[in-house]
Amino acid sequence: MAEAGVASGPLFQPGEIGGLPLKNRIVLAPMTRISAEEDGRANAAMAAHYARYARGGFGLLITEGTYPDTLHSQCYLNQPGLATPDQAASWTPVVEAVHAEGVPIFAQLMHGGAVMMHNRFTDTALAPSAVQPKGEMPPRYHGQGPYPVPRAASPEDIAAVIEGFATAARHAVEAGFDGVEIHGANGYLIDNFLTDYTNRRTDAYGGSTANRGRLAVEVAEAIRAAVPQGFPVGIRISQSKVNDFDHVWEGGASDAETIFSALGRTGVSYIHVSSHLGCGPVFGTDQPLAGLARRHAGVPVIANGRLENVDTAEEVLSRGQADFVSVAKAALADPDWPNRIAAGLRPVAFDPGVITPLATYDCEAAWRAALPED
């Protein structure tokens, strides 16, 4: 059982991101659900899905990663997009359903990069260098076998990537979203550039940590210039990847300072830090990665990583290591997670069956239907 009185604790204090007031410090983390239309349009099932989390008590929702262009950015079958006006229009009912519950929603913009598994526009993945990704494509996202070797991005490709992100951000504004988050984590394109072993470039986008972070900076700057003044723009950053869970930055604390300081200077509204353990100290410091982001970027930070334990989440907030926490697997298992925690009730526990055999709404519904009655 959750402890009594948690509803008045740090998790349930109001907060603010980029001038946008939030009723509490609990954020729905972005989760790939591969349940959009084949052409990337959002649908009624997605509106119901996100509205369910809004009713469940989350202070902010961040969508699954949406692909921003009709070139190389799509990563998964049935992934939603914000690349076209039609895709943008399809998101408006989703946004309206969430707003009807009194909750804001941000769109995450994601370029799949080297770990592309399905793209209806091309057969070739794009990456900083022609380096085959580690591991194999996960079956729960319709994957099978090793990742193919991607094509190294040309300067023209990089310019198109940046413009795609900016265009998708404008589409998010048109769709009614309250903000956007750049996916710069987990082994996707921006993270491919940040990572030393996947980025072997010798130009301005490779070599030093600052150069490898240049794409993240330029995407953030382009989006900031493309959206209205005051519109929240964030970025998600991690060390680990969907295909390399144990990766750590070679430069340790120095890399963290370089990356987060540069992002802070772009004018981003927040940084969303994903870690193995959101409260775990890194690089021999007394701070988790989120704490280093907060120190060096000087903007609000969302911490993610096994923070479904209420005591742990509140400790991260109370120590000033993050301003918000995001919940993924625990939320997937129980969309009412915040409301249950506030009421002192035990949430439904996560089980891998909720994303087995596929990480789709249909598989989730089948898993939920088999749960015992409360």
Q: Which two tokens stand for residue 101?
A: 């519950």
Q: Does residue 260 have a pLDDT over 70?
A: yes
Catalytic residue among 147, 188, 205, 270: 188
User: What's residue 1's pLDDT?
Assistant: 40
Q: How confident is the model at residue 279 (pLDDT cuts 50, 70, 90)?
A: confident
Q: How far is CA 174 from CA 69, 84, 105, 115, in A?
A: 16, 11, 13, 29
Tell me what the mean pLDDT of segment 170-177 comes to. Answer: 99
pTM of the model: 0.97
Terminal Cα distance for the chain, rounded: 14
Mean pLDDT for the stretch of residues 3-22:
87
Report pLDDT for 7. 81
Average pLDDT over every residue of 193-216: 99
Directed axis angle between helix 214-226 and helix 155-175, to 10°?
A: 40
Report percent pLDDT > 70 for the chain.
98
What's the average model confidence in pLDDT over 278-296? Answer: 94
The predicted model gives 151-174 an average pLDDT of 99
- pLDDT at position 374, please? 66
Mean pLDDT throughout 271-282? 89
Domain boundaries, the chain: 6-369
The half-sphere exposure of 180 on its side-chain side, counting CA atoms within 13 A, is 32
pLDDT at 2 exceeding the cut of 50: no
Catalytic residue flag (residue 188): yes
Over residues 294-311, the mean pLDDT reads: 95
Asked if residue 3 has pLDDT above 90, the reply is: no
10 pLDDT higher than 80: yes
- Hey, what CATH topology would domain 6-369 get? TIM Barrel (3.20.20)
108: pLDDT strictly greater than 90: yes
The 10s digit of each residue's pLDDT in 182-193 is: 999 999 999 999
Task: Place 373 in a pLDDT band, splitting at 50, 70 and 90.
Answer: confident
Report residue 362's pLDDT band, with 50, 70 and 90 as the boundaries: very high
pLDDT, mean over the chain: 97
For residue 235, pLDDT over 50 is answered with: yes
